[in-house]
Chains A and B, each alone.
Chain A
């Protein structure tokens, strides 16, 4: 069964008929395209807003995958460069073509480039209450409907994940910030744990993230 890319006129919850059986979906989720090679899934109600034209504030000294933030509704919202986190130390499109991309500025360029398609503002519960984060997007988010047989264990992200990850530490990093894998277009895509991703606990796992 393929995932249903939602028609906005179709209300949730609903049932679909497959081979004579009525099947209820588990829920709906958003596919976020963070780079040409990286898609992730978040829950439907975790995506709150799409922002565009927002100025980024650089925070030197912050982890290089999250060293920009926006001042949004009197809150400081961290902007997560997930491609940078997973492909670091020097993620950028030049890197994909095998060219030298050893200058960290290239990676900052990735965020600026992605900003052209806007920022996905996401919300999650943290220890301090409701918190916000943001992802730069290269495409508009897609709303999908998830059925039970699309949900896979995290371990599925290891093989044929379609994330373009080549080394184990990066896969471990992806697993660390995921709560499951969702099969989308025949590829397992990470269902993110936003609370884990935007917490400081990532810093406490240098063996996974610090060496990728």
Chain B
């Protein structure tokens, strides 16, 4: 029985399986690429409604366009299993032979691929958690002084002020100005109307509040005096995403592993040249 389990464990972590899975993933993603290029994409609501709901509605109805994605999910799952088993076997081996390394630095650098492998699993887990657990409210339009309720809470978010930065276009002879950024001041009030928090949001600079992140999706006016009768407004995406921290942790760990790997690669080459 134990031998049987060990054999399955080793087969799951084999490098041959990793190669086959990666090649299947390439083929599947190329298929997905052509589907997405065809312009029929039912994926837009995926980030808003979550994986379960999306799979049962858009995913199932447009199966011709989403089948590649449903193939992708088990492939990624198998890759995560393969990566975990393969790298755990090798990390165990490295720690067992720790004394064979000249120093901690050299040993530490040898862990770099495994750092990236574990990071990949974190990224996949984070992404899966986001798709299963995140709450997204994609369109929250606020005009000056107006507020909207943050879903599932009693808090209101209100637009207090909006400053739009314009830039003259260099490409046209008319040299019109158009908006390149906006800074909005938001305040949050509780059920009794008391301001509990306020902050500034701009393009690519979200604001965090009680586990929610608010992103500036759109704003107006986009030209001086234009849009919605020149009335200043913002459109916010409000998200509560418990998977994002895991996802970002994976990204940072992968980046650290990557730098260690490149560092070791340069160091090894340098040592080789020295010997020559």
A and B form one complex: no
Which A residues are closer than 8 A to B by beta carbons? none
